Structure 1
Amino acid sequence: MSVVRNEVALIWVALGYFTRIPVPQWVWTDQDRLNRASRYFGLVGFLMGAASALVFWLSSLVLPGSIAVLLAMVVGLLLTGCFHEDGLADTADGLGGGWQLADKLRIMKDSRLGSYGALVLLMAVLLKWQLLTELANFSVNFTATALILGHTLSRVLAASMIFTEPYVRDDDSKSKPIVTEQNWNDLWVLLTTGVLVLLLLPVMQALMLLMSLVVCRWLLVRWLRAQLGGYTGDTLGACQQIGELVVYLLLVALLIGGGQ
């Protein structure tokens, strides 16, 4: 298989892992391919963000900004099948309701939604809608850019944890395969995606956002090490959601504080 064809296949593997988009029949997946596909998780985020941004921009032509934001969020949920939101809810239930490591992992595997997960998920969705609505009140174009930044950078943040943190194994885990390792090539491609997306912002705003995400990642890593000793698929989803909120929070602060 040629290098280009192999990279295209890895992109499809990443799309198939994160989204409900049908994958061509010629693309096959195994554990090694899934691990290598992690380099394109940021690219998948860019595509999800671009789709949400397009729906938002078109909707804002005929609808109030708050409704356009809601439609953009719905598109993201439909494309991913609530993949990351499910991880956030399961993580909240597991870490909120479990005392021992085994208990936390067991609760996260449970498909039932608990009170911790329900409340955290509700607050996260409401906060995301409110932040994006605030951005929409200032600038439609900036909000579309924010959607691209949020979807892309949050996935880069979450996927980068695979390189430095151990996967917390559980033989009775959920049936969906999990990315368990990442090499230097995977990491550099992933980080390059994030850097390129940051070029959508002025230099100072890009640097402030980058530093905020670095701090956010450091705090999340310390938290997960203390709670689990590593990461699970659910916690990566939770980190993506938290990272996306951090992006929107900072952009709202920059936009309002800068008087744009």
Structure 2
Amino acid sequence: MKIALVAPSCTLKQEAADLVTALAATRRDCELAIHPQCFLSDGHFAGSDEQRLSALREVMEDESVDAVWFARGGYGSNRIAEAACSDLSVTAMRKTYLGYSDAGFLLAGLHKAGCEVAHGPMPQDILRDGGEAAVTRSLDWLLTRDRAGVEPSISYPVQAYNLTVLSSLLGTAVEPDLTGYELLIEEVSEHYYRIDRLMYHITGSANVRGVVELRVGNMSDIPENDPVWGSDEEAIVKDWCERASINYGGRAIIGHDAANRVVPFGRN
């Protein structure tokens, strides 16, 4: 199976690329192709919008590629998402796409277009403590659809997003249809007041109010609130779900950490 890496947001670190390449080389069933664009730099981004979009469309149209693995998160995939997910060829539609965090813009648009997508660890995650196990979960799922690394308590058609990304998706051309889905959310490095504000926004959406249930993953590296907020992230999510008559389904094992599980969109 040939897996292509592209970086729709920020530059992939060479150390991560080397470690993931070595890990993939131990798998007889895996051919890993890292697009040179992953190492470009244009300010914040892994190349200009045009370069990032061109590299993504190139691997999407490559008939030898079976899966596209987004190299890392950061910020930037929203700037190319609508163009990347438009007018998809049969070749692009046949591929599997995997990533999370900022890549959620692409996951939403590609899933909406009918592609197979999953939220899960990316190559850059190999630099985390325990990162090799996280990246291995994604490789195992991509190569064999191994369910050992899949979020264990999924019981409905499901989609998973970073909370900030989901909030930004609402009202756009690549907004996902969430009606009848289980919705999983996670967040990193946001104050409690911002998590509260984001929950106000997403639970005010008629689209989000159509979910079967909403579950919260890890919300990590939360900065100190001044003044003290007085509750935690789960209490915030529960409160806004109750206000919007959304069923709160408990916790999920997703987030910006090495425990992050794979969540294939759709029925599982």
Q: Please, what TM-score do these two structures have when normalized by structure 2?
A: 0.30
Bigger share in strand: 2
Q: Please, what TM-score do these two structures have when normalized by structure 1?
A: 0.31
Bigger share in helix: 1
